Amino acid sequence: MTPGDLTSDPASDLTSEHAAALTIGSVATPLGALIMVTDATGGLMASEYADHEDRLHRLLSRRIGPVDLRPGAIPPRLAAAVEAYFAGDLAATDRIPVRLTGSLFQNLAWAALRRIPPGRPVTYGEQALRIGRPGAARAVGHANGSNPFNLILPCHRLVGADGALTGYAGGLERKRWLLDHEARFTAPG
């Protein structure tokens, strides 16, 4: 797996040996600790803010079944990418390899999040059009409500049809902070 890969793996492809090799660790951010779960290759299986750790476990269990997470350090390149993002390199998290194990539609919706330019939020309806599913705004919203890669696959860049901040698992205050952060570091135009 190379950095930035969005690897789609059906849950059935994850052997119990692979699932047992998952490591959980965290990196400090201005918004609180970001928990990251990685596989043996350093691929990201999930990320979530520490105050929503129960969501991380719930989404992992739904996608790949029961897992035993080993506490440990996250790969240094992942921590460095998160730190670089918060320092203003908004593309840094795009280089984190992610293992997609959702449904075909979820994987399509999640992978498309990285194509939303920082500082230019789009509506759920626009995102549905971008992935070739016009009229599927609610399905895009539902898929993103199950996005197990908080911050790394930037669902915070999706807004309601009227531009309102809606539906962010990390909380609307974090969503507002992230959008403001990206606006500060995005060149006009």
Long-range contacts of 166-171 (CB under 8 A, 24+ apart): 167/141, 169/48, 169/52, 169/55, 169/145, 170/31, 170/48, 170/49, 170/52
What's the CA gap between 27 and 104, in Å, rounded? 30
Active site members: 155
Contact (CB, 8 A) for 176 and 143 = no
Contact (CB, 8 A) for 100 and 55 = no
